[in-house]
Chains A and B, each alone.
Chain A
């Protein structure tokens, strides 16, 4: 009984967010469940711009543990444990058809900068990477970034690949294009400005352009390979935080640390070594849609992904240890340095255009960003399972297409990058597809035949299980109570027949356990709820038990 009551409470987490303040009882499942899109109907036009202090973000997340650290289910998932489309996320790979060409194109729908000289609007001489803001001949605003002189093609290549893959995963990202520019292609007008070291804005000169170009990797023809990032649509209002909600956004009702797409970002960041997955590399913009204004949340600046740290090759620490971490620090101090961090010994092939990236030592579970991230810390088995399914949904060909967009001049480097991303993908799948009972694609046909899939075995991350056991119940949508019917059925395949008695009501519950000698955690059931629909049954609920 307790289990079934619990089932009701968890089955509609979005509803729970409402009901916790107390109101008239709600059904476990509404007629529109499962939602495929989060209806963010409130007008957010009054959201103001905010900036985040980079040092504060480090200090706060490293030493003060902000946000709600809780082992609770993600609060923005729908009743079938998926993330609805929203201002944060659009379901793509693994949910909608995504072709190899789609990944090769990624978010780039508008086309590259218009041919012809670029008019420099401003220069960026400080910060991690120097660059320009320019307008092309069509008047479109672009942010221009360079590769470091020590690593031609590295930062731009990493950014191209990561942009395509994060887009495929479902995030809102900028349109990023590779371009080649010479000093003569940059037109400096009287309106161009640059901030000096002290932050004073002054007129930008041709000398400034020359100085900024000198910091970038120069090609043998004297020109520069650059990353042209199209200005995001809408009005920028600053980055988002990985915890809490934005106080002035009426649509932002789910604490960010409990959003699945932010928790799952841990798996995606591990895959692509996005160690810089921090607030400062996000951007919210106000965009008009359907007669209202909403805040759209983007991931930006992928220069520090894969083997790149934007201005140099990635440090071996990146992805392996936080900037400050007590245990290894104390161990090193107290052992007089004779305790050696294991990642120090990792070998990286010498590809300047790749930087430092490998797949042999990489293990997803121990991957870390630059400093703690509460959303990543809160990621549970179901969040990471959700993410790993998307990672594993990328085919080798799609990954090749993403790497091809980086236009590496060294074919060996391109092949290495492809191989490493594929190998890291497989490790993500091995780690997180097997950590929970990996059953998916539940269906109950009109004759009461239940079918489902085992994504761990389908992706060859695990051998076939010994079998499955299915416990059938009827389900009362009003009270949330399930009543067992018959005995638990054991089956060898992903197929089971429901007893006739369970098919008489409006709702059916099937709790499926998986027996596998290597994965005892698969015995925790996945509970599926079906609702009678025209011509059969419709899946309305999925819950993975035993994670709380």
Chain B
């Protein structure tokens, strides 16, 4: 049937019956099923449209098509440098640039960032991987930072929230590092460098500056700018199934470091950090119990002292979560966490946790003491490979804290 005739028939067929009653006789019904179907298609042919997307689909399509997410972290070129600089720094904005010469074996990266609380950082580093065809990475670089509103409550476990002061820490760390991974699970690392640091008044107007409340005796390093030469080595066993969203396996690491004052013998000290983290999976890893233990100690050499801002701390989103970040600080610290996690659906895990931690002049001084505790629950929004948003609500005798973090717990 010619198209125009079909269209004509279709138009007639689709007119309301009432209209036919007014304007003329009813059209003939189609003689066959095939005619009836074709009449409907002929009518549709006269009113064809184009496929359109609504605003949400357009937006998502744009994000996909233009690779917006990939551009936030491109393998090469300029990239937005977003996120916090360190705990308590606030959200930061910056820009970076990276290049991967030598067919991708070398990474050259430079970036800078400023947060809304005035924290600043700039860094450059070069990494080469693999070295000599082996899973060995060499990297060297420089990091400059200016932490404008660091918190300090005094040394020891008997400090009060009311003792909170603010200080500013500015530093420049220049380092070289070699890291090797053996058999996929043994990780060995060595790092040497120079670290220049200086203390100043904090910019948080709500609290007094550190020098107004503390002295060199109660806060070693308060009045000194110092330059440390340091060497650190660590060995760890890493059996985690996913580093960014561990559902099974663990990480056990011992790190030792020597820090020597380049301007005298005032701040020579050694440091040891021991960490064990393990996730026991239950039911195809849909549930799990995460256990985390950390112990740190900084020991002065001879009559030297340890700068208070380089002493181990507890408190915060990766430690005892019912207390502020850096709430307790001393020469030795222990931190214990137990977390029960269960998957609500593939994009969300929930958690219940208890934390216990304490600080003291030595590890021995912590034995037999009642540890400070907190407890709470949280949400971990994740993909299979990583937790991209963590919200923890924790309570202690002292405080109730809500933590929002872009990453998994126990990263420190």
Contacts and interface: CB of A to CB of B under 8 A. Distances in A.
Interface of A: 12, 14-15, 17-18, 21-27, 30-33, 35, 38-42, 46, 48, 50-51, 53-56, 59-60, 78-79, 196-199, 207, 246-253, 316-317, 323-325, 328-329, 332-333, 336-337, 340-341, 344-345
B13 A250 contact: no
A23 B70 contact: no
A249 B14 CA distance: 19
A266 to B, nearest CB: 22
B75 A21 contact: no
B390 interface: no
Given A250-B48, A332-B343, A207 B31 contact: no
Interface in B16-61: 16-18, 26-34, 36-42, 44-45, 48-53, 56-57, 60-61
A40 B34 CA distance: 9
A120 to B, nearest CB: 19
Contacts of A33: 33
Best-buried of A35, A53, A336 by chain B (most CB within 10 Å): A53
Contacts of B303: none
A322 to B, nearest CB: 9
A246 B61 CA distance: 19
A48 B48 CA distance: 12
Contacts of B342: 332, 336-337
Contacts of A12: 33
A197 B104 CA distance: 14
Given A38-B37, A40-B41, A198-B71, A247 B49 contact: yes
Contacts of A30: 30-33, 36
B239 to A, nearest CB: 18
25 contacts: A14-B36, A15-B33, A17-B37, A17-B40, A18-B13, A22-B14, A22-B16, A22-B17, A23-B26, A24-B29, A25-B29, A26-B36, A27-B29, A53-B53, A55-B63, A56-B60, A59-B60, A199-B65, A199-B66, A247-B52, A250-B41, A324-B345, A332-B345, A337-B286, A337-B287
Nearest to A197: B70
A54 B31 CA distance: 44
Interface stretch (B90-98, B128-136, B346-354, B395-403): B346-354
A23 B17 contact: yes
Contacts of A246: 51
Interface in B69-112: 70-71, 74-75, 103
Contact of B56 (A26, A40, A59, A252): A59
A24 B30 CA distance: 9
A401 to B, nearest CB: 34
Contact of B67 (A199, A317, A323, A337): A199
Contact of B37 (A14, A23, A48, A50): A14
A23 B27 contact: yes
Given A23-B17, A198-B74, A323-B345, A253 B64 contact: no
B60 A23 contact: no
Contacts of B345: 323-325, 328-329, 332
Contacts of B343: 332, 337
Nearest to A54: B64
Interface of B: 12-18, 26-34, 36-42, 44-45, 48-53, 56-57, 60-61, 63-67, 70-71, 74-75, 103, 283-284, 286-287, 340-348, 350, 352
Contacts of A337: 286-287, 340-343, 350
B74 A197 contact: yes
A22 B345 CA distance: 49
A539 B64 CA distance: 52
A250 B64 contact: no
Contacts of B44: 42, 250, 252-253
Nearest to A207: B103
Given A42-B45, A248-B48, A317-B346, A35 B66 contact: no
Contact of A22 (B15, B63, B75): B15
A526 to B, nearest CB: 22
Given A26-B36, A344-B284, A48 B50 contact: yes
A323 B345 CA distance: 7
A17 B74 CA distance: 53
Contact of A345 (B29, B53, B283, B350): B283
Contacts of A79: 33
A56 B56 contact: yes
A60 to B, nearest CB: 8
A23, A50, A249, A344 interface centre (most CB from chain B within 10 Å): A23
A333 B40 CA distance: 51
A40 B32 CA distance: 14
A39 B34 contact: yes
B14 to A, nearest CB: 5
A21 B56 contact: no
Contacts of A324: 345-347
B78 to A, nearest CB: 12
A344 B286 contact: yes
A26 B45 contact: no
A63 to B, nearest CB: 11
Contacts of A18: 13, 30, 36-37, 39-40
B354 to A, nearest CB: 14
B67 A15 contact: no
B14 A23 contact: yes
Contacts of A55: 60, 63-64
A21 B31 CA distance: 18
A254 to B, nearest CB: 10
A21 B283 contact: no
B57 A53 contact: yes
A21 B45 contact: no
Contacts of A22: 14-18
A32 B34 contact: yes
Nearest to B45: A250
Nearest to B28: A24
A202 B133 CA distance: 27
Nearest to B51: A50
Interchain residue pairs A-B with the least CB separation, the first 3: A337-B342, A247-B49, A250-B45
A366 to B, nearest CB: 17
B156 to A, nearest CB: 37
Contacts of B29: 23-27
A253 B70 contact: no
A35 B32 CA distance: 10
B208 to A, nearest CB: 44
B32 A31 contact: yes
A246 B44 CA distance: 11
A317 B345 CA distance: 10
Nearest to B343: A332
B352 A336 contact: yes
A23 B18 CA distance: 10
B31 A253 contact: no
Nearest to A325: B345
B206 to A, nearest CB: 37
Contacts of B57: 53, 56, 60
Contacts of A26: 29-30, 36
A341 B286 contact: yes
A248 B49 contact: yes
Contacts of B16: 21-22
A31 B36 CA distance: 12
Given A22-B17, A30-B36, A337-B342, A248 B28 contact: no
A15 B29 CA distance: 11
A56 B61 contact: yes
A199 B61 CA distance: 13
Contacts of A54: 64
